[in-house]
Amino acid sequence: MDMPPPPTRPRFAVPPTDIVRPAPVMLPAGVRREPTRPLAHRDEDFDAKFDAETLFYDAFRGADGRIVLLGPPFLNLKPALEAMAITARPSGAACRFALREWDRHGQVLVDAPDDTTHLSVETSFGRIDIAVGPSEVDLFFGRRVLFTLSKNNRLNWIQDWIRFARDAHGADAVLFYDNGSTRYSTEELAEAIDAVGGIAVARVVSWPFKYGPQGLDAWRFWDSDYCQHGAWEHARRRFLEAAASAQNADVDEMVVSVDGRSVFEAAENDRFGIVRYRGRWVVGIGEPAEAPPDHVRHADFGTVQRAQMRRRFGILPRDALACPPKWTLVPSRCPDNAQWRVHTVDRWPAALRTSDAFGYRHFREINDNWKYARTRAERFDPAVHEADDLLKAHFARVDWSA
């Protein structure tokens, strides 16, 4: 399959990948966030997974000048927060503030003097001192940013994932949230990202918060997994407001385009500033009893599940095996009150569209089975599988060694 050449890879004097460590605010002893999920629908380890203790993940100066405190949803803590008093330090000025609650996420927006380094907060459950971090949107100004939340993905997988986005789509920046990996340190992760060429700026954000209990199935009780919703808003508000475009993708996902265009360029040229696309599973082929070896990489795979077309509502044709959509967007064109979520952007009608010009490949074998036993080989069946020539054409554009 003939494809256009990859986007030109610029050369940069690249500084080392810095590690960002947010300053979380934890609730005092005896105070906790109470879950909303009914007891009958909580599994035996629900309480261990549930984040009852974090009040705010971080506090920082937003691009609009206000200080942003963001964390899990307020729930039973909301009355205490609505009645709190906030004082800026060192000025001693009393601060106006507003609460904002979204899906599995809460924010407090604080008007404070420019010299504010700390906030002193008086609540019914005690006094809290909050350090205020800087806005870092200038770091990613004009960049095409690949960003994710990850835990324990192998370092060579991460490097190949970045190389693909760089050579197939022109990514030149990386924002990587590490959710408490135990396979390597954040310093080793930063060094691995540094080793990939052609990236102008990268940050590793240490994000060690509880991921949270997931839903019971695809539809029920998605109410308690706060971590990724918080990471996405943190990424947007602290780092990405001025980026040229930003792609939300997991390490086991790679975007392909039917004509070889950059997905970043497509979002930037879109009337509304967003491209949203569905995914297809990439599977391992072999003897069914065999799990892929530990040293596998994305480029070792080139077989996808055949589409199973069904009519949604009896009208709209849709692949029944398609993975939920992902997106690439222009942050500055996204409405302020819209919420970035994993598969969509809430309260933004433009985000309801999906494009047939792009898709992503979801690599079943690039996984450590953290959620369920996912990695397994299948015998090739032409009724079930097909070679993915489009993916292979994209792979051919990637320099996997640089």
pLDDT, tens digit, 9 for 90 and up, residues 48-57: 999 999 999 9
292 HSE (CA, 13 A, CB side): 24
**Predicted local distance difference test score (pLDDT) of residue 292:** 56
pTM: 0.94
Question: Which residues, given as ranges, of the chain have pLDDT below 50?
Answer: none
**Predicted local distance difference test score (pLDDT) of residue 12:** 59
- Is 36 strand, coil or helix? coil
**Predicted local distance difference test score (pLDDT) of residue 129:** 96
Q: Which of 62, 248, 19, 232 is nearest to 144 (CA)?
A: 248
Domains and their CATH numbers in the chain: 24-131 (2.60.40), 137-395 (no CATH)
**Predicted local distance difference test score (pLDDT) of residue 218:** 83
Are the C-beta atoms of residues 95 and 87 closer than 8 Å to each other? Answer: yes
- Is 257 strand, coil or helix? strand
pLDDT, tens digit, 9 for 90 and up, residues 282-293: 999 887 655 555
**Predicted local distance difference test score (pLDDT) of residue 16:** 81
Tokens of 356: 């047939």
**Predicted local distance difference test score (pLDDT) of residue 308:** 80
